[in-house]
Amino acid sequence: MSCTISGIGLAGFGTVGSGVWQILQEHGGLISSRSQGSAALEIRKIAVRDLAKKRDADAPAELFTTDLMEVVNDPAVDIVVELIGGTDAAFDLVAAALRAGKPVVTGNKALLAERGAELFALSKEHKAPIHFEAAVAGGIPIIKAVQESLVGNRIESIAGIINGTSNYILQRMTEAGLGYPEALKEAKDLGYAEADETLDVNGWDAAHKAILLGSLAHGFLIDYKEVYVRGIEKVTPLDIKFASDLGYVVKLLSLVIERDHGAIEIRTQPSFLSQKHILASVHGVFNAVAVKGDHLGDSLFYGRGAGQGPTASSVVSDLVEAARNSRSDRGFIPYQESGKLVEIDETSTSYYVRFSVTDQPGVIANIASILANHEIGISGTHSPVDADNPDAAFVEMVFLLHKCPFGQLKTALAEVEALDCLTARPVVFRIETL
Ligand code: NAP
Ligand code: HSE
């Protein structure tokens, strides 16, 4: 068996980077055998910020540098792996690698969703592919599935739980009754959260992944500035409890749906989902992506969406692919210049709306009448009463509302907010039936 060794330049030796090192130490021989010698991989340079930091994985000290560009410029490096995160230094590194004609493997969804247009153009120009399986849903091979396995389908919809950190936090709040800060700390300690967890909890990490999936499915780069995104930071234990009382769970859902006229509805937000829906049983760090193709019908991809092992597993799969064929048409070459996105105000679902109110006669009637004036139907109400003290003032009033466009609901709620019985802004969750 003849064997060509591909030299790897690894930028980043944190949670994922050190996981890649460990997999290659453990399974390097197996990987080489499986690829008939075409993917013998050797890490030849590792860039980090701090050389003195104590690390779990024991790579030789002489491989380390703090100069990111060494990872690209070292002539012994054939493939560059970017696992430093962020959109600035990572952009410069990836752009330099592509200009040098070196294939890139990255797990950086923020970089590709926000600056992909420039990088994919460089990739095309220099015939150097960008592989990014690890950027979406950790260990689940969803990029290859959408790009390759489902290539014969028009993708009608993608519905995903694609941020492990927020899913873990919501579950710990639901099942262990933890407060938001304690649940977040656990997710960080487990290596699920980003170095800066802001993007995990404000919905943007999931939105970046949805943008990548939507772009692959529909052939044009979706502009992240046009995408509607809400996070889980404001989800309260009260709404989680009410959801449960009403037969729902709260999940951070990312949706990419092709509407009849060909426009794409894309949004990420915490939503109510029936406890009976298959995605309701996706717990903790697990992710799931439900893809509907016009010929395939429904399919579901499920697995660990974050953490060292699953993510490094995806990076190694891309490394093998890069070493094996070095095809320059890998990565993403848009095949449409642009596409149309649906305005968020035109998207329709049912809703859960919680009003915090003072207990005074006519409150329910006033709210109901405003909703009726805007032709919004009420399918149910929920207002827990203290069984031992039925005369106690009610302060939380939940309305379940029939399907209507989001813009119509916003207009009605603006009017409700002007009522003096409201003590806080209404809390709105979409109820997704998918
Ligand atoms: P991490 O644990 O914070 O590791 C980042 C690594 O990059 C560290 O080794 C750090 O050096 C190095 N680094 C950062 N900036 C640098 C710079 N300017 N120059 C040189 N080295 C630099 O991050 P991670 O969790 O491994 O994530 C890495 C990437 O994978 C991110 O894009 C993330 O979104 C993506 N990802 C992560 C997961 C996950 O579960 N963690 C899953 C999927 C995708 P020091 O060690 O010296 O600080
Ligand atoms: N922070 C991300 C998450 C890592 O929690 O899903 C995987 O992309």
Q: Which two tokens stand for residue 176?
A: 């262990």
* 382 contact partners, CB below 8 Å, separation of at least 6: 242, 245, 246, 398, 400
The whole-model pTM stands at: 0.94
Task: Give the domain ranges of the chain.
Answer: 5-138, 142-305, 344-432
Tell me which ligand sits closest to the C-alpha of residue 160. 2
Per DSSP, helices labelled H in 128-178 are 142-144, 164-175
What is the chain's pLDDT, residue by residue, as a tens digit (434 residues)? 556 789 999 999 999 999 999 999 999 999 888 877 777 899 999 999 999 999 989 999 999 999 999 999 999 999 999 999 999 999 999 999 999 999 999 999 999 999 999 999 999 999 999 999 999 999 999 999 999 999 999 999 999 999 999 999 999 998 888 888 899 999 999 989 988 899 999 999 999 999 999 999 999 999 999 999 999 999 998 999 999 999 999 999 999 999 987 899 999 999 999 999 999 999 999 999 999 999 999 999 999 999 999 999 999 999 999 998 755 556 788 888 889 999 999 999 999 999 999 888 899 999 999 999 999 999 999 987 766 776 666 689 999 999 999 999 999 999 999 999 999 999 999 999 98
Quick check: CB of 200 below 6 Å from ligand 2? yes
The CATH code of domain 142-305 reads 3.30.360.10
* 162 contact partners, CB below 8 Å, separation of at least 6: 136, 137, 206, 209, 210, 254, 287, 289, 305
* 367 contact partners, CB below 8 Å, separation of at least 6: 355, 357, 397, 399, 416, 419
The CATH code of domain 5-138 reads 3.40.50.720
Instruction: Point out the catalytic residue in the list 209, 234, 241, 276.
Output: 209
Cα torsion at 42, 316, 82, 39 (round to 10°)? 40
d(CA 83, CA 172): 28
Quick check: CB of 165 below 6 Å from ligand 2? yes
Q: How far is the CA of 210 from the centre of ligand 2 (A)?
A: 13
Q: Whose CA is nearest to atom 1 of ligand 2?
A: 193
Q: How far is the CA of 144 from the centre of ligand 2 (A)?
A: 18
3-state secondary structure of 386: coil
Architecture of the domain spanning 344-432: 2-Layer Sandwich (3.30)
209 is catalytic: yes
Q: Whose CA is nearest to atom 4 of ligand 2?
A: 306
Is residue 221 within 8 Å of 117, Cβ to Cβ? Answer: yes
Quick check: CB of 306 below 6 Å from ligand 2? yes
| Phi/psi at 303 (5° precision) | 170, -175
47: DSSP letter: E
